[in-house]
Amino acid sequence: MALASESRHGLWSGRWLFVLAAAGSAVGLGNIWKFPYIAGENGGGAFVLIYLVCVAAVGIPIMMSEVMLGRAGRASPINAMRTLSAKANASKLWSYVGWMGVAAGFLILSYYTVIAGWALNYVWLTVQGAFEGISSDSAARVYADLLADPLQMIMWQTIFVALTIWIVGKGVTKGLEMAVRIFMPVLFVLLIVLLVYGFNSSGFDQGLAFMFDLKFDAVTPQTWLIALGQAFFTLSLAMGAMMAYGAYVPEGTNIGSTVVVIALLDTVVAVSAGLAIFPIVFANGLEPSQGPGLMFVTLPLAFGQLPLGAVFGTVFFVLVSFAAITSAISLMEPALAYLVEEYNAKRKRVAVSLGVICWALGLGTVFSFNIWAESYIVGELNYFGFIDYVSQNIMLPLGGMFIAIFAVWVVPKDILKKQLGLRKGWQTLLWKFVGGVVAPLGVLAVFVSIILPLFVG
């Protein structure tokens, strides 16, 4: 079975367009609030060092595997896995790894659009100066009122989904590349503006210490598992996005060095976000609370107390919204690419259809914060909790582990050598060890650490 030399969807105009697109996929809401917080709480600089080791040992090899499989197959994750497994005379069951990635990404997109809608709402609120001089109770009430109002949440979710449909429906060059060319440079500029703002605040030293003091006494085996999990999840692995984007990478692009640049950009954005956020938080004597509370309660309260707080608050939530949209388009692309390939359908029509389905699935997340809040599917997991748990904690780790195994041990050697440029024996041995042993075992450790408490707790 011959492999296609070019994707029917088109190719990225150049290496740096792919770098920006992949970085845009990886840079999301989790980079802005989750990484800085868990770094500060789990050893500061010691955690950052451990995280970088985990990115090198787990994140980069699996991302290389996904990009390589996408470019080799020149198709959606499902069809790329189907084509490559046939080329290797391997079981047809490997195509289900592609299915799992596409399904996981789409499920994540369904609730991601709801949370991204909150960010759009907060752009509107900060522009109006709604948080100027606000008290902590009032800031918490604004957030609680949003969650309690399904109609308002649906309105902002609808706007975000419509924007995602419009971008993805225009194709690789006119849609995805256009969004990347606009959103990513602006995202970096906005981040630099906030960094300068944070640097000049009275809490910069405290924020710097929170994130980077080498607290090795706080490092435990659990710290390594947290770092492994963050390294895996933050790079948008096993969601189908990197494999789909890899299908559009031009021949001649060095996958290894390109993936390293993407991982570094993702890490730089996460670290920079922390250096922009926590000085503002500490300058106002606030707690660096974890999760949405930091983004939608603590930070609006902080911006409300600062000179020009409304301006910089608006900049921050525009930054969050841009990070969300670049991730959202990458989550829709794998499913869209498959349907276009399988049914020879018009891209715009497929984008609208998927957008409507995503929007409808997202209603369950909307209702999970109000009218379905006490309706549980399994244990104490409501609709949103269940979708989040299954996609993030089961489908993604399993998918990542199987992708690594397939890329190293199943894909024919000639394809591996061509795609990754493995010209020397030691390069092949290193790839087999890191990509085929260390990376899948690392993901397996994360998976077991998540699942085991369900059976022994």
Which residue type, as a one-letter code, is found at position 25? Answer: S
pLDDT less than 70: residues of the chain: 1-2, 4-6, 457
Reported as a single tens digit per residue, the pLDDT across 113-138 is 999 999 999 999 999 999 999 998 99
Q: Which of 317, 244, 237 is nearest to 70 (CA)?
A: 244
Residues whose CB is less than 8 angstroms from the CB of residue 453 and which lie 6 or more positions away in sequence, other chains included: none
Residue 360 has a pLDDT of: 98
Residue 28 has a pLDDT of: 83
Contact 446, 232 (CB under 8 A): yes
Q: How buried is 53 (Cβ within 10 angstroms: 0-12 exposed, 13-18 middle, 19+ buried)?
A: middle
| Helical (H) or strand (E) element with 135 | none
Collapsed DSSP state (helix, strand, coil) of residue 214: strand
Residue 356 burial (CB count, 10 A): 12
At which residue do the structure tokens 């904690």 appear?
393
Q: How far is CA 175 from CA 170, 224, 248, 317, 423, in A?
A: 4, 39, 13, 23, 36
User: What are the tokens at 425?
Assistant: 């024996």
pTM (two decimals): 0.94
CA angle 344, 178, 64 (to 5 degrees): 75
Residue 286 has a pLDDT of: 86
Residue 445 has a pLDDT of: 92
Distance CA 340, CA 435 (A): 31
Contact 383, 367 (CB under 8 A): yes
Distance CA 136, CA 286 (A): 10
Contact 262, 24 (CB under 8 A): no
What structural domains does the chain harbor?
15-456 (1.20.1740)
Distance CA 175, CA 164 (A): 10
DSSP letters, 185-199, are HHHHHHHHHHHHHHH
Contact 404, 20 (CB under 8 A): no
Helix axes 347-368, 309-343, angle to 10 degrees: 130
